[in-house]
Structure 1
């Protein structure tokens, strides 16, 4: 038996032993999770000024992780960190930041949106963080197969805070 044939048969047997087709496509019905660009950060000011000296704190949504369980329904689990840095105008060591979780269907229809509050307690180093964990349920696997779902995260900002973020 020529050496080439022997190597080819060995490769075929090795691939067969893996019991996995390398060309197989796995379709997941799990919703994608993302932070919305201009509203993934928040800068809160003390008073009406917007100078560096007026910054109460700056917060960001980071370290987004997601997982999913598929069965008769689809349950998407997500966790993320809200981290903040104190500014020179911070007076309260404990602040509450509002954020939202929105579920979109086919990238354009908002199926649901829920607002939450995260409590941040600043340490002596001027930083604060909290990990938030949530689950989103798509009631039936048929719905998950028919539509593409995604979960969007962001801070619930005031119009002035949005304008500030867009200018940065």
Structure 2
């Protein structure tokens, strides 16, 4: 995981390299496909073509959440919950009439209950943002993951809800955007993550 700005720069470089490599393969394969198929089959092939995906990533500064009891100092006895975004599953499809892309995203989490936890559940806020050119945030939505800790279990893994995001524009324009996942942090929590660095 890297910081959001570095993630965007890296994603653009890697995407450009991938497109360059794939372009030659696609141009060579297309005449063979057209030769092998009749006109109706070509339309079927295009209808079932795999949609491109935007760059999806985790913001390193917001990949961890260490929450302490409100009003307490940041020490272990005041720890309520410690959570991390451990990964995600993402898939892409064309929007109706190919007017953009639909990204389906499911984040994964690990959470550890602290000594100051008030009960067997913890509500963990996270967000998904769509970022365009020049790191401009185009949209942002907040979600809450409710984690349940069984008796005598301090650490669990959990899956967030399946999120569907529609990216408007042509498929090529939509694929140039970036979809970023992170926790919703207080200024103090964000500052602590930046001091510590990625885990």
Cα deviation code 1:26-54 (max 9, x no counterpart): 99631111110111100011241111222
Q: Could you say which residue in structure 2 is the equivalent of 1:31?
A: 54
Give structure 1 stretches of 5+ with no counterpart: 1-20
2: CA distance between counterparts of 1:38 and 1:105?
19
Aligned equivalents of 2:173 and 2:75: distance in 1?
49
Give 2:65's aligned residue.
Answer: 42
Structure 2 unaligned segments of length 5 or more: list them. 1-21, 28-49
* Stretch deviating more after TM superposition (122-131 or 98-107): 122-131
Question: In the alignment, does 2:150 pair up with 1:149?
Answer: no
| Counterpart secondary structure, 1:120 | strand
Distance 1:33 1:22, change over 3 A: closer
Q: Which residue of 2 aligns with 1:85?
A: 112
How many residues are matched?
A: 146
Show the counterpart of 1:3. none
Distance in 2 of aligned mates of 1:81 and 1:146: 28
Considering fraction of residues, name the structure with more strand. Answer: 1
Alignment of 1:56 onto 2:83: no
Q: TM-score, normalised by structure 2?
A: 0.66
**Residues 107 and 150, structure 1, Cα contact 8 Å, conserved in 2:** no
In 2, the alpha carbon distance for the partners of 1:69 and 1:113 equals 20
- Following TM superposition, by how much is the alpha carbon of 1:107 offset from its aligned partner in structure 2, in angstroms? 4.9
1:24 is paired with a residue of what secondary structure? Answer: helix
- Three-state SS of the structure 1 residue aligned to 2:73 is coil
- Structure exhibiting the larger radius of gyration computed from Cα positions: 1
CA contact (8 A) 1:121 1:129 kept: no
CA distance in 2, matches of 1:110, 1:41: 21
Equivalent position of 2:40 in the other structure: none
Question: Quick check: which one's helix share is greater?
Answer: 2
What's the Cα RMSD here?
A: 2.4
**Pairs within 5 Å for 1:1-168:** 23-25=24-26, 29-47=52-70, 48-70=72-94, 72=98, 73-124=100-151, 125-132=153-160, 133-140=162-169, 142=170, 144-146=171-173, 148-168=176-196
TM-score in terms of structure 1 length: 0.77
